[in-house]
A and B are shown apart, each in its own frame.
Chain A
Amino acid sequence: MHLAMFAACLVPLLVIIVMQINFLLPDAIGAGFSVILDIIGLIGLVGIIYAAFRRYILRPDRLDDTKAEDALPLIWLFAIIFIGFCIEGLRIAITGEGASTAPVGTVFSLIFAPLGDFNGTLHSLLWRVHFFLVLGLIAAIPYTKFIHMIISPINVYLRKYGPIGDFSGIDFETAETYGVANIEEFTKRQLLHLDACIRCGRCQDNCPTHLSEKPLSPKKLLQDLKKNMEDKAAGNFEEGKLVIGDVIDHETIWACTMCLNCTEHCPVCNTTADKTVELRRYLVMTDPNFPAEAQTVFKNMENNSNPWGIGSATRGDWAKELGVPTAAEAESFDILLYTGCAGAFDDRYKKVTIAVSKILQKAGINFAILGAEEICCGDSARRLGNEYLFDTLAQANVAAFDGYKVKKILTVCPHCLNSFKNEYYRYNGNYEVVHHTEFILDLVKSGKIKLNKSENMKVCYHDSCFLGRYNNIYEQPRELLKSVSGVSLVEMDRNMNKSFCCGAGGGRMWLEEDIGQRINEMRTDQALEKNPDTIATGCPYCLTMLDDGIKAREKQESVKSLDVAEIILNAME
């Protein structure tokens, strides 16, 4: 639909330009242009009619804020193309030439033929109308929805490169305030995003927060900020009012799971999580006003380097019976197994860490852990807006890694993976970082581990956002599962880059979910629709959320939630 309208605008423009040098072109090429122009114009008309039909008749949820003025560009474009066909038809009717190269124009000429001599007058009149409509369109670009023809390409050109989920850092030595409270404190690129949003609604169509009936819609967030940008520039925003509270309410700011579904699906490369995190930074570090649960998590991370607040000295206890050496004990090691907070303290996920360790031991991998020296990667702190805490944890981690001359880190948590791989570069922490599903797949492919046991399982794999969209790891876990004899893999409707968040990202793991449906239960329902006996994942947060979802649906007798590593270990034994 968009492509049809786009072509109907662009192609005539190109043809008009080329026709200025038509004396250099063979007749056949000119005739070819005429036919193409006619067909594309017709497709454009169909596209415009369908666009209007969707907006004003079908009214899908994603176009819930369609405004009356949105019809103007459609009517305008339709008029230009339609009158263009009328002019062509009149020309053919008057001169009797060009019918063979203008199929649509010929149809129009049949309509005008009975008008006889009046055709000349009508042709002149419509030509002027067509001309003024085109001029009017050019002049109206900055003041109507047509502006996206200019801003969208600029926005796409100036898109952010690098890790998709990384945010800007803060220089704590020079910064006076942290985060954003006023619209002009966003960066130029972030403000351009606001103007580039064309309200297509793909973001909210894929947003777990919006779909679970919470107050956040990425589209609405950008549009509200855009309105504030315009008001501020026009002097219509009262002095002393802030973005937070006066434009975007607190519930919206804390609702985002930072799953990046909005970023993934935005056609103009807009981002939303970066704006949310700036608002959270202000609420956490500059003018503290944030959920009490987050306060507890921050304190636990500060005091015990993990969100639960369990004594940090016990962090390596899970490994004692396995004989996994710590970096301090090992003479040398090739790989550091970074367990992460869940892998070290959460009883359910400790089983996954143990499974991964057993696989590594069976494959003869020379690895070590940091044990009690390991601290949280800081992912939740960062996404909850506590950049200072993240900064502290990251510096300490880099110091520990560098102290043991770590080159390669194996993580059992996608959040740790993402922090080390995509965010620690600011602290000169540059390591080869791999997730356990990637690493174990390599072990299977190289023959270092054999999957001898057949498992009769119908597995539904859930893509963790931090593994998939953040790090583009989609195929490896699936390939690993398929390598187990007897495993049949089924996909949820929302899979791969359209995967639905479990609800725990963006620090939401630690906050209450009081509004709307529970995201983890919605995701569990999506999995249960496929009748699996196992829901597999590769993330501790997802595993917890899916476990809870299965219990909420009272399906724990018939459906298990397992990490991919646990399935592999079972197939080895």
Chain B
Amino acid sequence: MLTIIDPLLVLIAVAVCVFGLVKRSKLWLMGQDGEADKTEGNRLIDLIVDTVIHKRILKDPVPG
């Protein structure tokens, strides 16, 4: 079902996405460096718990 130009189209879509994200990131990067956190947590586990498992989102049974 795929044609020869389809991989090229995928690359174009990804490139447009990456371009937009890089441009977007420049907005945040114009900020100052902040001070380090007092303590450090397990960022990766917390990321999985709060995004994939939706812990924070499911605090409210009818999310926005």
Contact = CB atoms under 8 A, between A and B. Distances in A.
Interface of A: 1-3, 6, 10, 54, 62-63, 124, 127, 131-132, 135-136, 138-143, 147, 150-153, 156-163, 166, 168-169, 183-192, 195, 198-202, 229-230, 232-233, 265-269, 425
Contacts of B6: 131
Given A186-B32, A233-B26, 19 more contacts: A1-B62, A132-B9, A135-B13, A138-B13, A153-B47, A156-B47, A156-B56, A157-B44, A159-B43, A161-B37, A163-B38, A166-B38, A187-B34, A188-B28, A188-B29, A188-B31, A191-B31, A229-B30, A265-B60
Contacts of B19: 142
Interface string B42-62: 011011001110101111101
A138 B47 contact: no
Interface size class of B (residues with CB under 8 A): 35 or more
A171 B56 CA distance: 34
A251 B21 CA distance: 35
Contact of A202 (B20, B54, B64): B64
Contacts of A192: 28, 31
A233 B30 contact: yes
A201 B63 CA distance: 9
Contacts, number: 137
A184 B13 contact: no
22 contacts: A2-B54, A3-B54, A54-B62, A139-B13, A141-B20, A147-B24, A151-B24, A153-B47, A156-B47, A157-B44, A161-B39, A166-B38, A184-B32, A191-B28, A191-B31, A198-B64, A202-B63, A232-B30, A233-B27, A267-B63, A268-B56, A425-B38
B14 to A, nearest CB: 6
B46 A195 contact: no
Contacts of B23: 142
A187 B1 contact: no
Contacts of A232: 30
A189 B31 contact: yes
Contacts of B63: 1-2, 200, 202, 267
Given A186-B31, A229-B27, A162 B38 contact: yes
A249 to B, nearest CB: 22
A135 B34 contact: no
Contacts of A269: 50, 56
Contact of A160 (B26, B31, B37): B37
A142 B46 contact: no
A62 B26 CA distance: 30
Interface string B1-24: 100001001101110110111011
